Amino acid sequence: METRIETRREPDITTAKGRDTILEVRDLVKHYGGVKAVDGCSFNVPRGKLIGLIGPNGAGKSTVVETLSGIVRPDAGKIVFDGAEIQGLPPHKIFRTGMARCFQLARVWPLLSVLENMLVAAPTEGRDTIRAALFSRRRLAVVEKQQRQQALETLERYGLFRLRNDYAFTLSGGQKRLLEFARIAMARPKLALLDEPMAGVNPVLQVQIEEGIGTFLASGMTVLLIEHNLGFIERMCDEVIVMVQGRVAAIGNMTDLRNNSVVQEAYLGGGAYA
Amino acid sequence: MISYITSVATIGAITAILCLGVNVSWGWVGQLDLAYYAYVAVGAYSASVLELPRNIPQPGLNYSYILGLHWPFLLGVAGAAVVGGIVSAIVGTIALRRVRSDYIAIITAVTALMAAAFLGQSPYLFGGQIGTYGIPLPFQSSLNLGTQGYNFFFLGLMLVFLALTYAVLQLLFKSPFGRSLRAVREGDVAASAFGRNLFSVRLRAYIVGGTVGAFGGALFVNYISAWNPSSWNIFEVVLILSGVVVGGRANSIGVIIGSVLVLSIIPEVTRLISVFGGSAADGPAVAALLAALLIIVILRFRPAGLVPERKLTSSEPQAPSAAAANANASLSTRVGA
Amino acid sequence: MHQILLALGFGLVTAAIVALSTVALSLQFSVTRTINFAHGELMTVGAYAGYVVARAHGNVVFQGLAAMGVGALLAWLLNRSLFRTFRRLGVSVLILLILTIAGSQVIQAALQIAFGATTVNYPRGAGASHQVGPFEWTSTDIFTMLVALGVLIALHFMIQRSKFGKAQRAVADDILLARTTGIRAERIIDITWILDGAIAGLAGMLLVFQVGSFNPTVGFTFLLVIFAAAVVGGIGQMYGAMIGALIIGVVMEVGAIYVSPDYKQSVAFIVLVLVLFIRPQGIIPARGEATVL
């Protein structure tokens, strides 16, 4: 993978042609009052790969995530996901196009059991209507049985099986993080958007999260990972996008990026994160 | 004595239905519907004008009502429920667009007050201050029972309807729809991120609540045979809410228990107030006072209510892989490998 | 035209009463961030307090002071027994709403037991009608407006100039920050509630002084109008509350020319709904959502 060193211009998107791109972000702009959180950001994500998104605090990563997942509407720019333009769509519609995410502060549903958390995450395909509840009971029961089985297997894989009947609010922070991953697995999205999953996580849990990401990739999912843990990024990511001050500053693999002067400067004196 | 008990039980069954309806919005989705009693009134008025015969204007009497289709009981109640659904759909569409829960509460409360003024004022819609009266007792003409026998019959009918309401709502609660409601309640950001259209979910729950409320109101008016502005006011919402809060939010059995406790037992006990030297007219006020105090006390010491919410659990004793391993193991022993 | 001017005149009187009550509500909301559904009851007890005194003394000043005193006491009690207790427990906004509704019920029921549910008449003299410019006002009207104006001006100076006012504004802005500068937030909240109760109580007394007859539900039914004015002006904004009250008061009275007076409140409702659609934050943007401090 060639390292493109950027000074002012965006990476040339045309080189994306020829590779199977699942997500394309073009000239994304989002201002908050006078602050330009995202100021002309462009990148693309190849299908089936693990792509990292890094950058110093304030670079605009969170805003990009919020725009991608539909919580925030961009002021300008395009987001093309699996061939369809999704910028400006509300979160629930974006989920239905096949993008699922986890949150910086794990958002599980507290008064639902762990098992129920999983069942909610499974795609509903029109089954969560009143009509279905009253008149399609048999069909619902069949699907529910399948989903329960799947949920229990997934919970087991993440080591959460014994907690399946507990209220989600009783889980520890790390367990909630794992539940979020299990939920994404249930949702079977095309792209998983992971927002700093390693934040404040102990080493044992880190291993489990790595395994979780590995499972996602093995099942054909694309993963876009926002992280500060550069060692992890280096070990696992196929490609890394570096954002600085609302724009993409560089794209490449981590080893090459370490030697990139722009990236070093952005991370305040270089080597500080090595 | 017996007729007193059947009367209390009948009204108790109907109020239990009303409490189950409020529970859909409050317990399942966590939205405070202060307009609920307006839907009860809408149901009562609708059933009246559907079941009564056409109004014959009396000279000199400023009284009239619309429709007057002389429908039979079941049709009238069904029609009233549908009207309740439609009205709640309209109100919900206005009120639920805003995400601020406090604004939702304000708009619904304001709607209820408006409805109170509007429905009760016009002498042409629903009889104005006089209201509607003379609604025929359901099935009486075909059954021709004595008073006692009819009271039992009607009570039985109400219990059937209560069971029906309970069953239908349980179906909804356990379904993917019910789970979506609870997910929206527990975390709407995450629910939205996992595909739930928040407005649609909230609105549908609101409509279910309004429909059940109107259904209850229709049953009420068929029992009392009359309905006018003095038989209802916004405070009734508090009483019904207290049944849910005390009994157990989002738990249908709890709601029924709470309803019986707050809305049947307390009012009846306060009737005895005259025994203690109080004025009989103060009965309803004392009941309201006690109910409201009970809400405060329960929320302080047992906030989940008497019977807490049920979650879905799995009774599978083993993890799927362990189960599969065991199955393989027993298979191999049988084959003798 | 003459009719509209007359209605405008009535609107100003209504606005005066609404303004007092709405300002009180906004003041309290700005500091506690909770919507008090028992606010109407602060007015009702003020009304009954004035009524009790009025039956003994004809002096309106005594009646007003009684209304303010009782209102202040009730507000303080509400804060101590209800709001503070449950805030410390960390309950959600909606639970607090339910609690205030329950509180409102308790007060209304208690008043009903004490005074009966039937309407009573507030003893007052017949007011002579005066022509002031294009408006026609009775002595009662003028008295109401002057009192309201006086209280609002006094409040303005208190909030802007006094030490308490500064502290109150700091707490309304950011309670955590205010605490770090040494402001005792709990005391400020206490005093704000007392002010809220006093002003609302006075508004209640003025209201029934105007309309003449009332019952224990008078404050609660007036709540619709208060909420409308508060939302229009911007919940939690004192000056917004005054503007909102003016708008609502005038629109209600002018609207009453075209629809039957029974539907006056519907007019306020329509204004409320319109504002929520067009500019939900109100004229002076509302301070934040209802949360629990």
pLDDT band at A6 (very low <50, low <70, confident <90, very high): very low
Chain B residues whose beta carbon lies within 8 Å of the beta carbon of residue C103: 292, 296
Mean pLDDT of C84-89: 86
Mean pLDDT of C69-98: 88
pLDDT tens per residue across span C263-284? 777 788 888 878 877 777 777 7
Q: C206 and C147 in contact (C-beta within 8 Å)?
A: yes
**pLDDT for the residue B326:** 62
**pLDDT at residue A272 is higher than 60:** no
d(CA C234, CA C26): 8
Q: Does B234 touch chain C (CB under 8 A)?
A: yes
Q: Does C200 touch chain B (CB under 8 A)?
A: no
**pLDDT for the residue C194:** 95
Mean pLDDT of B6-15: 89
A206-220, B84-98, C59-73, C116-130: least confidently modelled range = C116-130
CB pairs under 8 A between A and B: 121
Chain A residues whose beta carbon lies within 8 Å of the beta carbon of residue B172: 130, 133-134
Mean pLDDT of B253-280: 77
Q: From the CB coordinates, do chains B and A have 3 or more pairs under 8 Å?
A: yes
Chains with 3 or more CB pairs under 8 A to chain A: B
- CB proximity under 8 Å: C 3-32 to B: none
**pLDDT for the residue C137:** 84
Nearest Cβ partner of A132 from B175, B208, B309?
Answer: B175
**pLDDT at residue C107 is higher than 90:** yes
**pLDDT for the residue B317:** 67
**pLDDT for the residue A1:** 40
Question: Is C35 close to B113, i.e. CB distance below 8 A?
Answer: no
pLDDT band at B234 (very low <50, low <70, confident <90, very high): low
Q: Does B160 touch chain C (CB under 8 A)?
A: no
**pLDDT for the residue B319:** 66
pLDDT tens per residue across span A21-76? 899 999 999 998 888 889 889 999 999 999 999 888 888 888 999 999 999 899 99
- CB proximity under 8 Å: B 245-284 to C: 245, 281-282
pLDDT band at A7 (very low <50, low <70, confident <90, very high): very low
Nearest Cβ partner of C227 from B110, B291, B295?
Answer: B110
pLDDT band at A221 (very low <50, low <70, confident <90, very high): very high
pLDDT band at B249 (very low <50, low <70, confident <90, very high): confident
Q: Does B167 touch chain C (CB under 8 A)?
A: no
B10-19, B77-86, B131-140, C88-97: least confidently modelled range = B131-140
Q: What percent of chain C clears pLDDT 90, i.e. is strictly above it?
A: 30
Cα dihedral value B146, B151, B154, B156, nearest 10: -110
Better-scored residue on pLDDT, B320 or B27: B27
pLDDT tens per residue across span A109-151? 998 999 999 999 998 888 888 888 888 888 889 999 999 999 9
Question: Is A128 close to B198, i.e. CB distance below 8 A?
Answer: no
Helix (H) or strand (E) holding A52: strand A50-54
For the ranges A7-11, C94-98, C242-246, the one whose mean pLDDT is highest? C242-246
**pLDDT for the residue A205:** 87
DSSP codes of every residue in C147-205: HHHHHHHHHHHHHHHSHHHHHHHHHHH-HHHHHHTT--HHHHHHHHHHHHHHHHHHHHH
Mean pLDDT of A163-182: 91
Of A147, A109, A100, which is closest to residue A128 (Cα–Cα)?
A: A147
pLDDT band at C147 (very low <50, low <70, confident <90, very high): very high
Better-scored residue on pLDDT, C31 or B316: C31
Chain B residues whose beta carbon lies within 8 Å of the beta carbon of residue A107: 187, 189-190, 193
Chain C residue closest in CA terms to B297: C99
Compute how many other C-beta atoms are within 10 angstroms of the C-beta atom of residue C25. Answer: 27
Q: Does C93 touch chain B (CB under 8 A)?
A: yes
Please report, as a single letter, which amino acid is at residue B273.
I
**pLDDT at residue B331 is higher than 80:** no
Chain C residues whose beta carbon lies within 8 Å of the beta carbon of residue B234: 220
Question: Is C102 close to B293, i.e. CB distance below 8 A?
Answer: yes
**pLDDT for the residue B327:** 60
**pLDDT for the residue A267:** 66
Instruction: Give how far B49 is from chain C: nearest CA, Å.
Output: 23
Mean pLDDT of B185-191: 90
DSSP codes of every residue in A177-232: HHHHHHHHHHH--SEEEEESTTTT--HHHHHHHHHHHHHHHHTT-EEEEE-S-HHH
In eight-state DSSP terms, residue A24 is: E
Chains with 3 or more CB pairs under 8 A to chain B: A, C
Place of tokens 């009284």: B63
Q: How many CA atoms lie within 13 A of B35 on its CB side?
A: 33
A9-13, A48-52, B302-306, C86-90: least confidently modelled range = A9-13
Chain C residues whose beta carbon lies within 8 Å of the beta carbon of residue B296: 82, 99, 102-103, 106
Question: Is B320 close to A149, i.e. CB distance below 8 A?
Answer: yes
What ipTM is given for this predicted complex? Answer: 0.86
Nearest Cβ partner of B114 from C116, C220, C265?
Answer: C265
**pLDDT at residue C1 is higher than 80:** no
**pLDDT for the residue A273:** 46
Q: Mean pLDDT for chain C?
A: 86
Question: Is B194 close to A149, i.e. CB distance below 8 A?
Answer: no
Token pair of C221, please?
A: 């039914």
- CB proximity under 8 Å: B 197-216 to A: 197-198, 204, 208
CB pairs under 8 A between B and C: 115
Question: Is B319 close to A100, i.e. CB distance below 8 A?
Answer: no
**pLDDT at residue C22 is higher than 70:** yes
Q: Mean pLDDT for chain A?
A: 85
Q: Mean pLDDT for chain B?
A: 81
- CB proximity under 8 Å: C 207-246 to B: 217, 220-221, 223-224, 227-228, 231
Token pair of B333, please?
A: 């022993």
pLDDT band at B332 (very low <50, low <70, confident <90, very high): very low
pLDDT tens per residue across span B134-184? 777 777 777 777 778 888 888 999 999 999 999 999 999 999 999 999 999
